[in-house]
Copies of this chain bind each other. A is one copy, B any other.
């Protein structure tokens, strides 16, 4: 603990009380490493305020003592975005005690949730008043509202409802000087200058600390229809996507996976079987909530079969069967991990460019790195896939991660930029992609990012080392 950190904790002791200041290393340890165990940091203390006012006191004290803070929710970042630096210079600011759902208004379609509310709890609270918060993702049992906002999280329902950016109606934020910005009022039209809510969404805790959010709720759909289809190639899948989009505004998911992803799941997860007989190159998981229900799904799939766009298809006959389809989809990452170490990339390109990218990027990687296997799966409807380059059989994992992954990453990222895409689609930048963001951004974008960071966090105390490379100021004497 540095003298500045000690002085800061002393100053906060009365405000936060014993539950609000955690210094036992055993209690801090689980939060010093990210959940995939890729990033390891160290924090000599963890602050756990229970109210917005307490968060404001923490940030004001951090500013006064020049002690950096690492805001943290469920610690489910995919890019080391919530892991403290290894040198112990920063303290963890846990928002998990701020877990109240302040209000749920079914008629207005709005809920106000504090930063520490877990996504699945928000889902339940909405359902209790016959509404839905239409964003979900694998980590829903851990991910918190603050983290979802701060990473502009996506998931499998973005196609219809957008990412968090489209679902946040207002924010309460503690700024870097400890002042509170109350922007929770859900005004449908508000043009009072620069939109601080939008600026904070996706800022990864580097511009301010999100303490609560007003979130949009939508009606619970009367019916949900889920299908599995097989296509010869991603281009045919895209054509089918466009047909669905022309036919209904209630298309909620359009996921694609290659033959090898399905094979990996079937080999890894006991009791699962392929939804369709025979061998197929590409598989599609399609879901809509149109009132026309299974009839619409049947019509579009039958027509696609007739036209040769797809080879086979089946509509889930029950909720249980639909859940099985989704279990296959959600088991891909774990199943592929069991096949060996891989370089994993969360990327996006314009939707129309994705079919070609999936084929050509895989071929380019395998040609450039002999023995590797490359493939992508995910949200075709969003132009966003998770692209994995698996190491050649027999590769030493330590060498792969230390030496090969950075080279593979730069190669893949260059392909993404050449296709007009983004190297950070739904997982953000964190510490993992920070240097690549610097390398691949235009001077105009970089200058703007640095200027905004320096303006909103002049002392560099908010989530240092994440997203942009601005060093914190040295502690005050």
Which A residues contact B (CB, under 8 angstroms)?
A: 105, 107-109, 151-152, 154, 158, 163, 165-166, 175, 177, 179-183, 185-196, 198-199, 201-203, 207, 219, 242, 245-246, 249, 348-352, 379, 381-384, 420-429, 437, 441-445, 447-449, 451-456, 458, 467-468
Q: Nearest Cβ distance between residue A155 and chain B, in whole angstroms?
A: 10
Chain B residues whose C-beta falls within 8 Å of the C-beta of A195 in the assembled complex: 152, 165, 198-199, 201-202
Chain B residues whose C-beta falls within 8 Å of the C-beta of A165 in the assembled complex: 195, 198
Q: Out of B151, B379, B443, B451, which one reaches A456, CB within 8 Å?
A: B451
User: A190 and B242: CB pair below 8 A?
Assistant: no
Copy number in this complex? 2
User: A185 and B442: CB pair below 8 A?
Assistant: no
* 30 examples of A-B residue contacts, CB within 8 angstroms: A107-B242, A108-B350, A109-B245, A152-B191, A152-B195, A154-B189, A158-B189, A175-B444, A180-B442, A180-B444, A181-B442, A181-B444, A181-B448, A185-B420, A187-B383, A188-B351, A188-B382, A188-B383, A189-B382, A191-B425, A191-B428, A193-B437, A194-B202, A194-B448, A195-B198, A195-B202, A198-B199, A249-B249, A451-B455, A452-B456
Q: Nearest Cβ distance between residue A252 and chain B, in whole angstroms?
A: 13
Q: Out of B191, B207, B458, which one reaches A194, CB within 8 Å?
A: B207
User: A194 and B189: CB pair below 8 A?
Assistant: no
User: B194 and A425: CB pair below 8 A?
Assistant: no
User: B444 and A179: CB pair below 8 A?
Assistant: yes
Q: Nearest Cβ distance between residue A186 and chain B, in whole angstroms?
A: 6
Q: Complex Cα distance A427/B109, Å?
A: 25
Chain B residues whose C-beta falls within 8 Å of the C-beta of A151 in the assembled complex: 191
Closest to A238 in B: B107
Closest to A421 in B: B187
Q: Out of B190, B207, B448, which one reaches A348, CB within 8 Å?
A: B190
Closest to A107 in B: B242
User: A202 and B196: CB pair below 8 A?
Assistant: no
Closest to A443 in B: B179
Q: Nearest Cβ distance between residue A421 and chain B, in whole angstroms?
A: 7
Chain B residues whose C-beta falls within 8 Å of the C-beta of A175 in the assembled complex: 444, 447-448
User: B383 and A429: CB pair below 8 A?
Assistant: no
User: A191 and B422: CB pair below 8 A?
Assistant: yes
Chain B residues whose C-beta falls within 8 Å of the C-beta of A351 in the assembled complex: 108, 188
Chain B residues whose C-beta falls within 8 Å of the C-beta of A108 in the assembled complex: 350-352
Closest to A152 in B: B191
Closest to A467 in B: B193
